[in-house]
Amino acid sequence: MALNGIRMGAGRWRGESSEMENTMAQSLRENLHLVSDPSNLDLSVEEVFSMMLGAACHPVEEAPVEEDETITAVVGFGGLLSGACVFRSGGTTALEIAGKLTGMEFAEIDDTVKDAIGEVCNMLAGAWKGRIPDLSANCGLSIPAVITGSNYQIHVQAPEFKLHHIYRFESSSFEVTIICDGLQ
Amino acid sequence: MSEMRVLIVDDSSVMRKIVERSLRQAGLNPMTVFEAGSGVEGLEVLSNQSVHLILSDINMPSMDGLEFLRQIRARNLAEGVPVVMITTESSEEHVKQAILAGAQGYIRKPFTAEQVKERVLPLVAAVVGG
């Protein structure tokens, strides 16, 4: 999947002086351990689910339950770091998450469910980058893109690094992946 | 409290509903809510309706929240109406930009209903004198 085509939102990198860019890029490289720290992702997921859904959520080792229909939301990063935050779950889990978030009941993956999952991914991406000082102000987020269907895979060629965690939410599970395909 | 008229600007209809629910939980009742999916739509609403409070996302298609805020001020729409940004962008730089553009409040997503109450009610009280 090409990440470059994702349109950046208002928080995009707004070309400062090249000296400042170089300093920030250097700082980010020196603090790469913070970017790739798995606990930042876990804390971000727990925070979003606790605050917005009132639900506990924790990382697990087991493989997610595969369903015929899956939903994937992608929020792109641009600026000092380029890449994406990807949320993926089965359809049943998506309905449960959307239901918790909105206080509504859903029988199928409609536009509201897609919107809800896109927003969850958006908040996960924002919470994750907000935990890394160099990225907070210098890495913008795209508008969420949501994909539904079955038997599809998202492939990013040779990412610089990738964090991929599975989380349990009540009786369901979902995956969150942070892909970094380039540092400025 | 007299009826509040609130404009919520966010490209996510789900998020608009969540913000509305948080405002009602904060005690803003009765309340009429106007919704807009972008800054452009928000300006259209403001050209036809008067409101007591505006809550806006930042990252939106067509016109982002900061440009929306600048346009409100430039066009003298909603004079004296407090604007609160609700966004995933949490850096000091974004907060600074929002304040420079004329925002009175800033709420980071994810948020709790309690946070909405704490940040919004004082602004509302100042506007309606409650």
3 state SS for chain B: CCCEEEEEECCCHHHHHHHHHHHHHCCCCCEEEEEECCHHHHHHHHHHCCCCEEEECCCCCCCCHHHHHHHHHHCCCCCCCCEEEEECCCCHHHHHHHHHHCCCEEEECCCCHHHHHHHHHHHHHHHHCC
Question: Does residue B61 sit at the A interface (CB-CB below 8 Å)?
Answer: yes
pLDDT digits (tens, 9 = 90+) for A155-171: 878 788 899 999 998 88
How far apart are the C-alpha atoms of B81 and A81, rounded to whole Å? 37
CA distances from A31 to A16, A36, A132, A183 (A): 21, 9, 9, 12
Block means of pLDDT (10 residues each) for chain B, 130 residues, are 90 97 92 96 96 96 94 93 94 90 95 94 83
CA distances from B33 to A47, B75, B116 (A): 28, 22, 16
Question: Does residue A98 sit at the B interface (CB-CB below 8 Å)?
Answer: yes
How far apart are the C-alpha atoms of B118 and A170, rounded to whole Å? 30
Domain boundaries, chain A: 18-183
A24, containing H or E segment: helix A18-30
Identify the structural domains of chain B with CATH numbers, from first to last: 4-128 (3.40.50.2300)
pLDDT digits (tens, 9 = 90+) for A36-64: 899 999 999 999 999 999 999 999 998 87
Question: Does residue A26 sit at the B interface (CB-CB below 8 Å)?
Answer: no
B residues 66-105 near A, CB within 8 Å? 66-67, 87-94
In words, the CATH class of domain A18-183 is alpha beta
A12 CA: distance to closest CA in chain B (Å):
9
Neighbours of A23 (CB within 10 A): 13
Q: Which residues are CB-neighbours of A108 under 8 A, at least 6 positions away?
A: A95
Question: Does residue B111 sit at the A interface (CB-CB below 8 Å)?
Answer: yes
Q: Is the dihedral of CA A26, A30, A32, A34 positive or negative?
A: negative
The minimal CB distance from A137 to the residues B87, B92, B110 is found for B92
- Average pLDDT in the A85-94 region? 96
pLDDT digits (tens, 9 = 90+) for A118-146: 999 999 999 999 998 888 888 999 999 99
What pTM did the predictor assign? Answer: 0.88
B77 touches B46 (CB < 8 A): yes
Kindly determine whether residue B110 and residue A123, on different chains, have CB atoms separated by under 8 Å. yes
